[in-house]
Structure 1
Amino acid sequence: MGRAGVPIISVTHGGDQRHNDGGRQAMARGARWAVGTTAVLLVLGAGGYAVADAYDVAPGRLTLASPPPTPAPFPTADVAPAPDVAAVLGELDPQAPLPSGEAVAALAATAVADPRLGSSTTVVVTDVLTGQVIADVGGRQPQEPASTTKILTAAAATEVLGPDATLTTSVVQAAPGTIVLVGGGDMMLAAGAGDPAAVNGRAGLADLAAQVAQALTAAGVTQVTLGLDDTLFTGPSWNPGWAPDHNRYVAPISALAIDIGHTSDHPYSVRQPDPALEAARQLARALGERGVAVVGDPVRMTAPEGATRLGAVESASMREIVRLTVQESENTIAEVLGRLVAIATGEAASFEGATRAVVGTVAGLGLDTTGTVIADCSGLAAGSRIPADLLVDVLVLAGSPAHPELLPVVDDLAVGGWTGTLLDRFGQGPARGLVRAKTGSLPGVTSLAGTVLTQGGRLLAFAVMADATGAVGQDRPRAAIDELVTRLAAVPPAAAG
């Protein structure tokens, strides 16, 4: 059972248990938010927090908009206890009744007409087991997706990179007296020792420095120059669609960084202007503390092929990295994932190459990507367009027993009332613990895509995309979407016969 007795359903394929402590990590982050609300307001001000909320990086509900009207009461349905976290997709009863198509269509139509969602809303609802589309209102119309873009990025990364891959940060000897720090894509390094229980901070620069210092001092070397090879990624590190003040929500994309480029422990601290160079400077300090003096400042250079490796540290697994990205809507790491997909598929490791690679990989799964254009891999930049039915198609495919490799795309989404950006949503009513979804928020844009288990036992994939909500903040549109999804959980079954 979940927090405070809230039931949680997790979808896996027969006998294949794919769970670890990612939920606890996300819950811990949520707890830090709950404790640190006052600090957030003191540092950013109420307006700053509202901006963070609007950009889908804060789980809170602060807004400058007028309070929403009191919603209609939720349907009075008994909340059947959901299976504990060990439930498997194969145990979802194919004989469980499909929800009433008329009822679902009416709910979708009501949502599209809801003034809280503005003038441009699309809704798609599909049964995961059969792929039967139950409701489709404008599902082929490309919409501004905001952070639901990360569903495509997560699917592409899971498909191409696999769940067990890790990212290596190493130091090699380029020449006598010259060593080079080589970035392998890990922007979640710890400045100190690595933490085997963490995702952000699994690999530590202090551990790397200890390895390197041991190798050098054993060879009688106590003084070196330090190079930095961050050539894994190419092109600009800052997307032209990002505003300068977005540096509270995303870092310049680099081949390595400490703590996703944060300049302090505050979750919305500004990011380092050059995260890779800052990591190299930290390594130099750590080497000095271990008896190896670094002469001068680190300088960029390309490590020679075949250079002797002096030390290396490994990131968390790709499964864990993708989970953190979708649960916490981590923009920087989504961009890193896109570039890694680009490298794996032969594209340039740039913004342009990453977006091509992500959409191309999704198309390669046999899905229709017509009309899909993404400006980045996180959804932070304006200008992306994704049809709601593509998001649903990805979720249905990921939940299919024919594609067990994609299961994490569904299984690792934030859980309503429990983790990540859904921490404070769906905490009550028949959908509690039964919604797994990716949020999407930009000014004027609110979206949600994921799965919900009905009270009748059917797993439904859904996407709701509203990209013309106006300057009303996020509370009102989110309330409208949450009402729709809650009612989907309680929708009556289709009439027999």
Structure 2
Amino acid sequence: MSKAVGGTVAAALVLASGYFWADLHDLVPGVLTIAPETPDPKPFPTVNVPEARPEVAQVLSALPAGAPIPTAAHVSELVKELTGNTDHLGKSVAVIVTDGITGEVLGESSADKAVIPASVQKLFTAVVALDQLDPNQTLRTRVVLSGTNTLYLAGEGDMMLSAKKGDPDATNGHAGLQDLAEQVAAKLKLAGIEEVNLKLDESAFRGNPLGPWDEDLVPLGYAAPVSVVAVDTGRRSEGNYAPRYTDPALEAAKSFAARLKEQGIAVKGAVSKGVYESAGAALNATGDNLLGEVNSAPIPQIVQYFLKSSDNTITEIIGHTIARDRGLPASFSGSTTAVVQGLGKLGIDTSKIKLVDCSGLGESSYVTARSIDQVLELMVSSDSTNMIDAVNGLPIGGLSGTLNDRFIERNGRGLLRAKTGSLPEVTALAGTVVTIDNRLLTFTVIADKIPKGGQWGARKAVDTFVEKLTECGCS
């Protein structure tokens, strides 16, 4: 096929709600660590490192199709060197490197072994969403009236609502509860209604909102319970890893009640939970009963957001959306079924894929490096123009997303687009890289038995491998 372009819980809560603890133990991006420093590698050849400027994001589109291909012998030697670094990566390392244009495998090791992927698994959810969902589709948040004065707040998964007005240029905060309250209040006042009851309708989603995840992940800020509505993905305060509410939807409903009050509409008593007529009916209500609606950013924009930020909760929201679109329950089990089916439809080998969630936060999912590589090949294929949003959503080495603090002084800066993955015993990186000869390569590295507390050293080993790929003027 032709190709073109992750102490104790108590201690963690004391240390800034868990982030500093997680940083020290190398579970999240940051400069702190308690791991022993790894000796610097031997000097490598130097190439020109791009400056941090917006144009770098366009580098892949200008690559010459006839650029020299690195030799399989040289890439295989780099793979052998990487997998031999058992001190930092352990003995379970799956690797594959492929030419981005011809699809030729240039080097591999244990590429068909089932391994724990961590967040590189998000690539699966991304490509299935872009393949199956309408690119103009959004996530709706609605208010419907029942009887004379009972409002139902219902949603289909926009957990990035703003508590105030929405920002049309943003993804997180695209739609606002203040905007919704203004719509609703205007219609209520026309009908002479100044006092209402407010209920939260959660019937669009099914099952346990935490799926396979540990409850400890919520106060530590790694994820929020998957909910039909939420403000800022259920965060209690600002910050990517801020602690989350245990019931983000109810907190959002309380915020909406406050916005109604600002508009002159009083909410009697506390917000309660209930279902408008029947499960999901509020999302299909029409006519005079529909008092207001706000919409999230389009699905491709949300896909880019969760790839760049590695947001676990929002990835699950998209998984739930895929499931609902295919007529399956909008739940963890429904979403994983839908994603695996979608991968099969795209020609990805799913025989060794086992998913417990859509984000990779669960520690019982298994994939192969080859299946990840097949997805990357699909993303850069000239036959897959609808996948460009996934490519554009990948973090760029030294510049953006979860790679903004990696490759800062390395040759991969600006030449690498990749999805990161981290769990206590897993480090992974998968994406595209451009060589010194301007050849596009796809690569996947997954080490799922790294030494305890060794995330820093493992990442450095992987980054060194990728840097050597960029320096591969070895045709």
Query: How does the TM-score come out when normalised to structure 1?
Result: 0.87
What is the CA distance between 1:400 and its match in structure 2? Answer: 0.6
Report the 3-state secondary structure (helix = DSSP H, G, I; strand = E; otherwise coil) of the residue aligned with 1:142. coil
* 1:50 and 2:31 aligned: no
* 1:403 and 2:373 aligned: no
Whole-angstrom distance in 1 between the partners of 2:472 and 2:319: 37
CA contact (8 A) 1:241 1:375 kept: no
Whole-angstrom distance in 1 between the partners of 2:61 and 2:22: 45
Correspondent of 2:252 among 256, 279, 285: 279
Instruction: Show the counterpart of 2:9.
Output: none
Name structure 2 gaps, 5 residues minimum: 6-12
What is the CA distance between 1:136 and its match in structure 2? Answer: 1.4
Correspondent of 1:332 among 304, 313, 317: 313
What is the CA distance between 1:88 and its match in structure 2? Answer: 7.6
CA contact (8 A) 1:79 1:455 kept: no
| Aligned partner letter, 1:393 | Q
Correspondent of 1:216 among 188, 191, 194: 188
Instruction: Show the counterpart of 1:349.
Output: 330
Whole-angstrom distance in 2 between the partners of 1:286 and 1:322: 29
CA contact (8 A) 2:19 2:241 kept: no
Whole-angstrom distance in 2 between the partners of 1:86 and 1:237: 36
* 1:419 and 2:419 aligned: no
Instruction: Show the counterpart of 2:82.
Output: 111
Instruction: Show the counterpart of 1:487.
Output: 468
What is the CA distance between 1:43 and its match in structure 2? Answer: 5.0
Correspondent of 2:226 among 234, 240, 253: 253
Distance 1:282 1:373, change over 3 A: same
What is the CA distance between 1:79 and its match in structure 2? Answer: 4.8
Distance 1:332 1:264, change over 3 A: same
Whole-angstrom distance in 2 between the partners of 1:418 and 1:160: 30
What is the CA distance between 1:90 and its match in structure 2? Answer: 6.4
- Superposed CA deviations along residues 367-400 of structure 1, whole A, max 9, x for unmatched, are 1112111121111111111101111110111111
| Aligned partner letter, 1:421 | T
Report the 3-state secondary structure (helix = DSSP H, G, I; strand = E; otherwise coil) of the residue aligned with 2:186. helix
Whole-angstrom distance in 1 between the partners of 2:59 and 2:46: 28
Instruction: Show the counterpart of 1:189.
Output: 161
| Aligned partner letter, 1:448 | L
Query: How does the TM-score come out when normalised to structure 2?
Result: 0.91
CA contact (8 A) 2:56 2:414 kept: no
* 1:315 and 2:285 aligned: no
CA contact (8 A) 1:338 1:358 kept: yes
Report the 3-state secondary structure (helix = DSSP H, G, I; strand = E; otherwise coil) of the residue aligned with 2:245. coil
Distance 1:43 1:346, change over 3 A: closer
* 1:289 and 2:237 aligned: no
What is the CA distance between 1:180 and its match in structure 2? Answer: 1.0
Distance 1:439 1:196, change over 3 A: same
RMSD over aligned Cα atoms? 2.2
| Aligned partner letter, 1:269 | A
Whole-angstrom distance in 1 between the partners of 2:151 and 2:352: 48
| Aligned partner letter, 1:67 | E
CA contact (8 A) 2:171 2:296 kept: yes
What is the CA distance between 1:164 and its match in structure 2? Answer: 2.6
CA contact (8 A) 1:166 1:314 kept: yes
CA contact (8 A) 1:427 1:433 kept: no
Whole-angstrom distance in 2 between the partners of 1:40 and 1:437: 33
* 1:170 and 2:126 aligned: no
Whole-angstrom distance in 1 between the partners of 2:468 and 2:214: 36
* 1:270 and 2:243 aligned: yes
What is the CA distance between 1:268 and its match in structure 2? Answer: 2.5
Report the 3-state secondary structure (helix = DSSP H, G, I; strand = E; otherwise coil) of the residue aligned with 2:129. helix
* 1:123 and 2:95 aligned: yes
Name structure 1 gaps, 5 residues minimum: 1-10, 14-38
| Aligned partner letter, 1:71 | P
Distance 1:42 1:221, change over 3 A: closer
| Aligned partner letter, 2:333 | E
What is the CA distance between 1:226 and its match in structure 2? Answer: 1.2
What is the CA distance between 1:97 and its match in structure 2? Answer: 0.7
Aligned residues: 455
Correspondent of 2:171 among 182, 196, 199: 199
